[in-house]
Structure 1
């Protein structure tokens, strides 16, 4: 059922530029693949197919919905993530809001919610989020930081840092990112970083993808949320 909902959402996103719906400000559809770089761990990979839509109810109030389907190579698991964001925009480039979402992974549920902020100043964009995770009474908290710099109209460089703390365990993710515009509204993406789980040596990982953006805002305001978004290649 969730896979069907995902496909419907992606189809709707692809049709948005032709619908003329004034309240739709942006959309994204993308595919991303990540895997650990170590030869002994490269079976630990993740493929993600996802989409997002953003609506403006008024010039200063917007809502965004994300839906992603993920497939894990080592475990043969599949997972679904849904997030709903609501934000207030004091300026055209700045947004402060809250979000709530749900992760379904191998018959396990994780509910999460939090606060987020995004802004763009000249060629620099950045966002931050605080997330609280709850899975059957087990709790964790996470912080996400993302930033990017537009080198020119085709190339963008950036970085990402995440930390999740729960039940006495700390997990970290840090990476450098890049995107290259193949054609207007279509870009290739890349990521290279490290993941460090509590009690485990840090592992390097690599990710590649392709993303299509639609609308006046060239996509949506906020990046993905949820525990599955945090895990690289697992």
Structure 2
């Protein structure tokens, strides 16, 4: 692995300006990480960075649209140029569309839009930041998945996820699990660990704040997997209670 010697630990959280993403940024910042707060909207991103800085956290805004190749590549070049490396990449940006639509009726346009962010966005961002991740001594990639992406959980009548039958969102999160396993295998020779986390039913804009957990509670799993040691797992799917069923 090509390593840049530095005492500064760096982390990027896509969609880090609100919800779970902001909670993850806060948690990592309090552990001493220098943060890149990924956001599409300048004003929202600046507001989030201002809040983090007010807490004494070293944070700066990184404009990035995970659906746009040029935006992602420009962001990756900036991080590599200004930080020299990236220790943690948290693929948090995600959307849900058509939650009220039957799977038999949801439009392909909505399905494609969800996949563009939730699946292709994860692929696009991770691939673009590999050069920066390889400059770290022990890089970690965390992908925010969902219990709704677990075939085991959505088919378990006892699970809270068994009744939410969202075609686009659920299947996009299932696809993300497979993407993570593929990246984990490809990056293993570099010592880069890649894992998916299931944050639980968290109250965010995504579900109109109907979740049972706070963003801070949901963020705890991501923070734990983002900071695992060299003996930690890779290519896994984890929640608050440990390993989750695929």
Going by fraction, where is helix more abundant, 1 or 2?
A: 2
Normalized against structure 2, the TM-score is what?
Answer: 0.34
The answer to which structure has the higher strand fraction is 1
Per the normalisation by structure 1, the TM-score is: 0.35
